[in-house]
Structure 1
Amino acid sequence: MVVAGCARAPAPEPEPPPEPEPQVQPRDEAAERAAREAEEQRRREEEELRRLETERRRVLSVIGERVHFDFDKSDIRPDAEEVLQRKVSVLREYPGIRLRIEGHCDERGSNEYNLALGQRRAESVRRYLMSYGIDAGRFTTISYGEERPLMDAHNEEAWAQNRRAEFPVTDHGRIGAGE
């Protein structure tokens, strides 16, 4: 007996599962909005810091302006009044600022005389500022006499620069923060 048969055809391979369709992540609008708001807040803060730094430089520039005096005088000169008026404006705007008013002299005269003259100069400036309503408690005064010259030369130009009052800030208060 002969058995004959057909060879069986191999079973077809199963089709691979379909590629998953790329899922589009739903836009997280809340997260995007939060990111935009955070970036905007950061930008505003940087802008405010730049504004505060600009204001701080302006204030310190005005406060740092020196006033000069005539030889052997402690009277406020007209050009010094202009400088002091700018200081009055800043001191009114920022009541937390405290200053040390330093009186200086040129080298002519004795050390004792120049210390006294430097003190009169510092006091003259203090009285001027107080006459515009700036509280006396915001100032200290000191005289350095001839001990801290700006210029070491021995001529009228150097002496004129050395006859001055300077205004180091002893307490900045909150410059630029809108006290």
Structure 2
Amino acid sequence: MARLTSKLIVAAALAATAGCAKKRPEVLPPAPAETAPTTTAPADNYGQNTGVQPGSAEDFKQSVVSDTVHFDTDKYDIDPQARSILDSQAQWLQKYPNVRITVEGHCDERGTREYNLALGERRANAAANYLIARGVAASRVNTISYGKERPIALGSNPEAWAQNRRAVTVVLG
């Protein structure tokens, strides 16, 4: 009898916790704050005193082809243009091995919130996995999906949608 009771208690506990999946918060955290660039003397012809600290987020933005890769509708594959951008990011990240990044996945306004969060996650993971394959340590790379919650282009047209389908690499301070 005690054995049956123990099994029933364990079964009830498993059933109770099975529905406790982690849910996304209703309100997303605010966008990362822009930091004021370090100001020093302007750059001379020999690249000295550029005013940007090496290994900083500002240095990253100035040194790589782009911090953003774009995707086709409902896609998350890395095309040749995205490879070129991510290769430049990987080279910069290898130069600064202590820098950590977050790759943000974004979508256009079409589709449900849940669909876009999942697609944004696949986009962020595709970009992050490419960087990792190029030698960036996985422990330095985080991913997050914002789905359609943070558009950079407002409007309901193909041009705005194309700009919003993206993965953005953000250097953490």
TM-score tier (shorter)? 0.5 to 0.7
* Structure 1 residue 137, shift from structure 2 partner: 0.6
Distance in 2 between residues matched to 1:82 and 1:54, nearest whole Å: 24
Larger-Rg structure: 1
The structure whose RCO (Cα within 8 Å, separation 6+) is larger is 1
One-letter code of the match for 2:88? R
Counterpart of 1:50? 49
Instruction: Report the 3-state secondary structure (helix = DSSP H, G, I; strand = E; otherwise coil) of the residue aligned with 1:50.
Output: coil
Is the CA contact 1:63–1:167 (under 8 Å) kept in the aligned structure 2? Answer: no
Is the CA contact 2:67–2:170 (under 8 Å) kept in the aligned structure 1? Answer: no
Counterpart of 2:97? 95
One-letter code of the match for 2:165? R
Distance in 2 between residues matched to 1:99 and 1:54, nearest whole Å: 17
Counterpart of 2:61? 60
Distance in 1 between residues matched to 2:51 and 2:153, nearest whole Å: 34
Name stretches of at least 5 consecutive residues in structure 1 with no aligned partner.
1-45, 172-179
Instruction: Report the 3-state secondary structure (helix = DSSP H, G, I; strand = E; otherwise coil) of the residue aligned with 1:102.
Output: strand
Distance in 2 between residues matched to 1:103 and 1:120, nearest whole Å: 7
| Structure 1 residues 47-84: Cα deviation after superposition (integer angstroms, max 9, x where no partner) | 99714627554433328621100100010121111110
Aligned pairs for 1:151-162 (under 5 A) are: 151-162=153-164
Most deviating of 127-136 and 46-55: 46-55
One-letter code of the match for 1:165? A
| Structure 1 residues 103-155: Cα deviation after superposition (integer angstroms, max 9, x where no partner) | 00001111000000000000001110111111001111000000000111100
Change (3 A) 1:54 1:135: closer
For normalisation by structure 2, the TM-score amounts to: 0.66
Distance in 1 between residues matched to 2:138 and 2:65, nearest whole Å: 16
Distance in 2 between residues matched to 1:97 and 1:54, nearest whole Å: 13
Distance in 2 between residues matched to 1:67 and 1:102, nearest whole Å: 10
RMSD: 2.4
Instruction: State the percentage of identical aligned residues.
Output: 46
For normalisation by structure 1, the TM-score amounts to: 0.64
Instruction: Report the 3-state secondary structure (helix = DSSP H, G, I; strand = E; otherwise coil) of the residue aligned with 1:67.
Output: strand
Aligned pairs for 1:1-40 (under 5 A) are: none
One-letter code of the match for 2:83? E
Name stretches of at least 5 consecutive residues in structure 2 with no aligned partner.
1-43
Query: Which of these residues, 105, 126, 146, is aligned with residue 107 of structure 2?
Result: 105
Count how many residue pairs are aligned between Structure 1 and Structure 2. 127
Is the CA contact 1:99–1:140 (under 8 Å) kept in the aligned structure 2? Answer: yes
